[in-house]
């Protein structure tokens, strides 16, 4: 169970990205986070694993307040939270396998892994994850030799490598064409349903939200303006979320 | 009103700027001593022409030469009429006009029947016949004739003197060399000069010297670049803003860490001394050293495997943790012993092997020096590592205190600790100043700086209590940046003067000066590459729970390796160029030879040096460009 309480983020330059946001995510849920660009979706997801330091509020996950942890205490928490990024964030010059193995860095011994020594179990597991996303024969290619859709599948494999209890997906399909978008979303759906991993996924397209999400929350200018099943987003709600002039597409 | 003023300014702007430029350049000309009279002066021009012509004929080959003199008589001053010289019909001959003159006066020397384009010198030989005074050079035309006007020397004599023209025809040519017998400077048992057969032309002495020195030069550049890279790579992360910005700490943690700093250092020095004593017990016998070098590393390997299990399980029971920590400690101490043994073995091996290796003795010398260097830096490395460990432990202690103490108590402890830490730090820094200025009074070297430091520490602590994070990383960033910028602004040519005082004139001083400059320059270039990496991968690796070191190893390093290689090659290029002149400051290499040749007015040898520099620099330039293309 993830419980966000009164989360506020003010950047150093004074920008208020999140204003007193509170919501809950039961274990195993697929939650979509929607809103305009700049509405605070990315900030919200990054506050949950403290890539961005929240200014105020609590982030309770399995009873532990993530917001109050020290850097050392954060490591065991972060390794159970996978993350998938809009721009994939792979290390271009590294092999695909190395990129997937990065997902095990929270588990392996820090001293050994610095010298590029991974236990055999980790390597076997990395191959298994690549197989799951259908890229086992690309293991030794350089990451930048892959197409966009393939790169995002490596990103998913890297998140899976962490044995995550929760996956934060920040616009995972915004850089992909609609066909690839569905294939990536299906991987996330499969992980959500088969492995019972909680998924928080920010999305732009409402049809994807309707198709994949159990529930949705919407942010507008850092404020939580909607929380409920995707079916409840009617035209009025839509305008409230996206602004008065917005028109629905797709 | 303001519009009017602006248009006035617009009209006056150009004339004002012109006036300003005139003033600035006038002053510049005065300061730079721009003076065309010097350029026009005839003596300067002849000098320049002579130097340029010598430079244009690099003395790469030495020719044995056949000297052929041709004489004519001359009376200085005028006396009884001289007998005319007698020449055969096709024999080369010279005529002096007039046949007598006042000492120092001009005479005209005309030569005929010389070989076409022959070169030679004209001398005045006083009646004693023991010395030849050089007057002028000549070059004959295609018919073998020449006319030269020369000034005689002011050496009046009652008897006639001789005007002698000597040609020195080279023997052999590059494609058809000849062998000549020459008298050497060495004498045989009977006191006669030993005659040797030499080849003409042959590679000149200057060329051999140039080869020796240019190799030295390239090696200097290579050494300086390697050392520079080794040191600059770790420091480049300290000087990278994006890495250091995230290194923050709390008042309590920072104070504790500063306080353990001297403790860690002293512990390291003691541990190293102790292990050196232990190693001395073994070094009497080579068998024990070699045995120790085999057994101990194996033991260390297993201890490390036990102490650092491949999977980080999170919390481990206290007993297990104690075992791991002590195993790691024993392994660390044993590693120091291994290093001392290794240093001893290398030194002995080098000294033992050097005499039997003949021309490869330099490898043995290298091994010996390597052992020496290792022995010298073990203590430093140990002290650095124990300091690092102590800082880590202090960090852990701070984390424990943070969990177990309420905020108020924590702050109440943090403030006096910060004062203490400030005092200790200032007292340590003051020791350096005291040593430099030879102050021996404990009040000025310990208590006053300590008190000032304590006050600063207290003030800083109280000021930053409200914030949770102190940007200690950014402070380190600024400090390292400042040091690198200061080092970089001193040219190696100046630095070499200091190093020459320390290690003596020669290539070692040059290498050290170049290395120091390389460290500073590369650390800056590297750190800018670290600052310009893509932040995405860093974010991804951090999100997986990686530690800071893991993040650098997996997200930062792969991104900066290509630019690092590129900058290293670029620097290697610069170092080759710099090493060619570092000899001017006493740093050895080709520059030393070049300077010597210029001072001795030996321009033809200097020309060989310059040629070598040009070839090496150009080929390095080409080579590094090719490698860069290939790798990056």
pLDDT tens digits for range B250-291: 888 888 999 999 999 999 999 899 988 988 888 888 888 888
Q: Are residues B8 and B76 located together in one domain of the fold?
A: no
What topology is assigned to A1-77+199-244 in CATH? Rossmann fold (3.40.50)
Q: Which two tokens stand for residue B289?
A: 């050293």
A-chain residues within 8 Å CB-CB of B558? 91-94
Give the mean pLDDT of chain B: 87
Task: Give residue A32's pLDDT.
Answer: 94
Count helices and strands in chain A by DSSP H and E runs: 9, 10
Q: Are residues B90 and B144 located together in one domain of the fold?
A: yes
CA B194, CA B184: separation in Å to the nearest integer?
Answer: 6
Collapsing DSSP states into helix, strand and coil, what is residue B204? coil
Task: Give residue B467's pLDDT.
Answer: 62
State the average pLDDT over residues B173-195.
82
- DSSP assignments along B510-557, one per residue: HHHHHHHHHHHHHHHHHHHHHHTS-HHHHHHHHHTT--HHHHIIIIIH
Higher pLDDT pick, B198 / A128 = A128
State the average pLDDT over residues A17-21.
93
**Other CB atoms closer than 10 Å to residue B284's CB: what's the count?**
9
Higher pLDDT pick, A35 / B85 = A35
Q: Answer with the one of B170, B186, B221 that is the final residue of a domain.
A: B170
CA B340, CA B378: separation in Å to the nearest integer?
Answer: 7
Mutate to test the interface with A, among B309, B394, B544, B552 (most CBs of A within 10 A): B544
Q: Are residues B81 and B212 located together in one domain of the fold?
A: no
A-chain residues within 8 Å CB-CB of B564? none
**Position A248 pLDDT exceeds 80:** no
Higher pLDDT pick, B130 / A97 = A97
Collapsing DSSP states into helix, strand and coil, what is residue A220? strand
CB–CB of B553 and A114 under 8 A? yes
Q: Which structural domain range is residue B9 located in? A: 2-34
Cis before A135 (ω within 30): no
CA B244, CA B254: separation in Å to the nearest integer?
Answer: 15
State the average pLDDT over residues A41-55.
92
Task: Give residue A193's pLDDT.
Answer: 93
Contacts of residue B303, defined as CB under 8 A and 6 or more positions apart, other chains included, come to B327, B328, B330, B331, B334
Task: Give residue B350's pLDDT.
Answer: 87
State the average pLDDT over residues B381-406.
87
**Position B1 pLDDT exceeds 70:** no
Q: Residue B148 belongs to a domain with what CATH number? A: 2.60.40
Mutate to test the interface with B, among A12, A89, A163 (most CBs of B within 10 A): A89
Q: Does B536 touch chain A (CB under 8 A)?
A: yes
Q: Are residues B554 and B589 located together in one domain of the fold?
A: yes
State the average pLDDT over residues B148-159.
88
**Position B2 pLDDT exceeds 70:** no
State the average pLDDT over residues A149-168.
94
Q: Are residues B485 and B582 located together in one domain of the fold?
A: yes
**Position B477 pLDDT exceeds 60:** yes
pLDDT tens digits for range B37-75: 888 888 888 888 888 988 898 888 888 888 888 888 888
Q: Are residues B493 and B627 located together in one domain of the fold?
A: yes
For A129, B206, B411, B415, B417, the CA distances from B402, given in Å and listed in that order, are 39, 73, 10, 14, 15
Confidence of residue A242 (pLDDT cuts 50, 70, 90): confident
Per the listing, tokens 């974010």 go with: B539
Q: Does B558 touch chain A (CB under 8 A)?
A: yes
Q: Classify residue B322: in a domain, yes or no.
A: no
Q: Are residues B509 and B588 located together in one domain of the fold?
A: yes
State the average pLDDT over residues B478-495.
91
Q: Does B404 touch chain A (CB under 8 A)?
A: no
Q: Are residues B21 and B113 located together in one domain of the fold?
A: no
- What is the share, in percent, of chain A residues with pLDDT greater than 90? 66
**Position B560 pLDDT exceeds 90:** yes
Task: Give residue B24's pLDDT.
Answer: 96
| Separation in Å, CA of A223 to nearest CA in chain B | 25
A-chain residues within 8 Å CB-CB of B399? 70, 72
Q: Classify residue B528: in a domain, yes or no.
A: yes
CB–CB of A93 and B562 under 8 A? yes
Give the mean pLDDT of chain A: 90
Pick the most confident of B1-10, B179-188, B189-198, B321-330: B321-330
B-chain residues within 8 Å CB-CB of A168? 543
| Separation in Å, CA of A157 to nearest CA in chain B | 12
Q: Do the beta carbons of residue B479 and residue B488 sit within 8 Å?
A: no
Confidence of residue B466 (pLDDT cuts 50, 70, 90): low
Q: Are residues B131 and B220 located together in one domain of the fold?
A: no
Which 3-state string (H, E, C) describes A79-115?
Answer: CCEEEECCCCCCCCCCEHHHHHHHHHCCCECHHHHHC
| Separation in Å, CA of B342 to nearest CA in chain A | 23
Q: Do the beta carbons of residue B257 and residue B393 sit within 8 Å?
A: no
Phi/psi of residue B224, each to 5°? -60, -40
Q: Classify residue B456: in a domain, yes or no.
A: no
**Position B621 pLDDT exceeds 90:** no
Q: Answer with the one of B115, B148, B170 that is the final residue of a domain.
A: B170
Domain total for chain B?
3
Q: Which of A171, A182, A249, A238 is nearest to A204 (CA)?
A: A171
Q: Does B544 touch chain A (CB under 8 A)?
A: yes
Q: Are residues B576 and B627 located together in one domain of the fold?
A: yes
CA B313, CA B186: separation in Å to the nearest integer?
Answer: 82
C-alpha R_g of chain A:
18
Task: Give residue B632's pLDDT.
Answer: 64
**Position B588 pLDDT exceeds 90:** no
| Separation in Å, CA of B541 to nearest CA in chain A | 6
State the average pLDDT over residues B293-307.
89
- DSSP assignments along B560-590, one per residue: HHHHHHHHHHHHHHHHHHHHHHGGGGT--SH
Question: Which residue of A51, A116, A119 is in closest CB contact with B542?
Answer: A51
Q: Which two tokens stand for residue B481?
A: 């940046």
CB–CB of B310 and A94 under 8 A? no
| Separation in Å, CA of B316 to nearest CA in chain A | 13
Confidence of residue B541 (pLDDT cuts 50, 70, 90): very high
CB–CB of B545 and A111 under 8 A? no
CB–CB of A105 and B550 under 8 A? yes
State the average pLDDT over residues B436-453.
82
* Sign of the four-CA dihedral B479, B482, B484, B490: negative
Q: Are residues B24 and B118 located together in one domain of the fold?
A: no
**Position A85 pLDDT exceeds 80:** yes
Confidence of residue B432 (pLDDT cuts 50, 70, 90): confident
- Core vs surface per residue B165-174: b (16+ CB within 10 A) or e: bbbeeebbee
Q: Classify residue B556: in a domain, yes or no.
A: yes
Q: Are residues B30 and B145 located together in one domain of the fold?
A: no
B-chain residues within 8 Å CB-CB of A55? none
């Amino acid at each position: 169970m993830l419980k966000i309480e009164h989360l506020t983020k003010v950047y150093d330059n004074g920008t208020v990205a999140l204003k007193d946001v509170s919501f809950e995510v039961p274990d195993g849920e697929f939650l979509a986070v929607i809103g305009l660009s700049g509405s605070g979706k990315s900030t919200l997801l990054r506050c949950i694993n403290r890539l961005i330091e929240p200014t105020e509020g609590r982030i309770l996950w399995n009873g532990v307040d993530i917001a109050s942890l020290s850097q050392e205490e954060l490591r065991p928490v972060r390794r159970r939270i996978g993350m998938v990024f809009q721009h994939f964030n792979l290390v271009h010059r590294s092999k695909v396998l190395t990129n997937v193995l990065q997902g095990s860095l929270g588990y392996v011994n820090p001293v050994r892994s610095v010298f590029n020594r991974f236990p055999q179990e980790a390597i076997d597991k990395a191959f298994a994850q690549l197989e799951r996303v259908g890229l086992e024969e690309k293991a030794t290619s350089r990451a930048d030799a892959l197409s966009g859709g393939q790169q995002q599948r490596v990103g998913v494999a890297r998140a899976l490598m962490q044995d995550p209890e929760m996956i934060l997906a920040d616009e995972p399909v915004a850089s992909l064409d609609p066909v690839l978008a569905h294939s990536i979303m299906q991987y996330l759906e499969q992980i959500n349903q088969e492995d019972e991993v909680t998924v928080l996924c920010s999305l732009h397209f409402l049809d994807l939200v309707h198709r994949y999400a159990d529930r949705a929350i919407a942010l507008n200018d850092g404020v939580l303006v909607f929380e409920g099943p995707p079916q409840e987003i009617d035209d009025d709600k839509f305008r409230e979320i996206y602004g008065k002039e917005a028109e629905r597409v797709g | 009103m303001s519009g009017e003023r602006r248009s006035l300014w617009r009209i006056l702007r150009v004339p004002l700027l012109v006036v300003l430029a005139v003033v600035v350049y006038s002053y510049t000309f005065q300061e730079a001593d721009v003076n065309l009279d010097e350029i026009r002066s005839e003596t300067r021009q002849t000098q320049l022409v002579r130097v340029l012509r010598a430079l244009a004929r690099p003395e790469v080959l030495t020719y044995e030469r056949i000297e052929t003199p041709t004489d004519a008589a001359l009376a200085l001053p005028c006396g009884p009429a001289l007998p005319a010289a007698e020449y055969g019909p096709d024999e080369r001959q010279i005529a002096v006009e007039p046949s007598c003159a006042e000492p120092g006066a001009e005479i005209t020397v005309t030569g005929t029947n010389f070989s076409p384009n022959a070169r030679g010198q004209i001398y005045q030989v006083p009646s004693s016949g023991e010395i030849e005074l050089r007057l002028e050079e000549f070059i004959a035309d295609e018919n073998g004739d020449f006319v030269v006007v020369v000034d005689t020397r002011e050496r009046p004599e009652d008897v006639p003197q001789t005007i002698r023209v000597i040609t020195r025809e080279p023997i052999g040519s590059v494609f058809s060399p000849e062998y000549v017998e020459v008298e050497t400077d060495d004498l045989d048992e009977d006191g006669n000069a030993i005659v040797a057969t030499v080849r003409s032309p042959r590679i000149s002495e200057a060329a051999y010297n140039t080869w020796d020195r240019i190799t030295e030069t390239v090696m200097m550049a290579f050494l300086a670049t390697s050392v520079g890279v080794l040191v600059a790579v770790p420091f480049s992360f300290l000087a990278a803003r994006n890495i250091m910005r995230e290194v923050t700490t709390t008042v309590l943690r920072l104070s504790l860490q500063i306080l353990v700093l001297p403790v860690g250092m002293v512990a390291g020095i003691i541990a190293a001394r102790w292990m050196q004593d232990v190693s001395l017990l073994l070094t009497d016998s080579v068998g024990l050293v070699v045995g120790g070098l085999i057994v101990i590393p194996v033991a260390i390997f297993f201890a490390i495997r036990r102490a650092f299990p491949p999977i980080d399980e999170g919390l481990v029971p206290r007993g297990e943790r104690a075992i791991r920590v002590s195993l790691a400690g024993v392994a660390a101490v044993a590693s120091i012993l291994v290093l001392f043994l290794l240093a001893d073995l290398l030194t002995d091996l080098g000294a033992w092997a050097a005499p039997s290796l003949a021309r490869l003795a330099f490898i043995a010398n290298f091994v010996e020096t390597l052992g020496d260097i290792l022995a010298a830096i073990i203590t430093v490395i140990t002290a650095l590592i124990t300091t690092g460990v102590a800082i880590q432990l202090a960090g852990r202690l701070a984390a424990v205190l943070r969990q177990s103490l309420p905020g108020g108590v924590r702050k109440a402890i943090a403030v006096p600790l910060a004062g203490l830490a400030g005092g200790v730090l200032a007292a340590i820094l003051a020791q350096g100043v005291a040593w430099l200025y030879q102050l021996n009074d404990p009040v000025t070297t310990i208590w006053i700086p300590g008190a000032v430091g304590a006050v600063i520490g207290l003030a800083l602590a109280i000021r930053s209590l409200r914030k949770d994070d102190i940007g200690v990383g950014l402070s380190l960033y600024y400090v390292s940046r400042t040091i690198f910028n200061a080092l970089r602004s001193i040219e190696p040519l100046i630095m070499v003067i200091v190093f020459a005082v320390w290690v003596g004139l020669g290539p070692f001083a040059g290498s050290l000066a170049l290395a120091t400059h390389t460290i500073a320059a590369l650390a800056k270039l590297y750190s800018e590459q670290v600052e310009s990496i893509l932040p995405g991968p860093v974010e991804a690796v951090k999100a997986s729970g990686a530690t800071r070191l893991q993040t650098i190893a997996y997200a930062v390093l792969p991104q900066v390796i290509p630019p690092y290689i590129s900058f290293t090659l670029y620097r290697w290029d610069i170092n080759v160029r710099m090493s060619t002149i570092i000899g001017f400051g006493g740093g050895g290499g080709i520059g030393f030879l070049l300077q010597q040749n210029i001072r001795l007015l030996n321009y033809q040898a200097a020309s060989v040096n310059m040629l070598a520099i040009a070839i090496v620099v150009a080929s390095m330039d080409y080579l590094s460009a090719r490698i860069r293309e290939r790798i990056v």
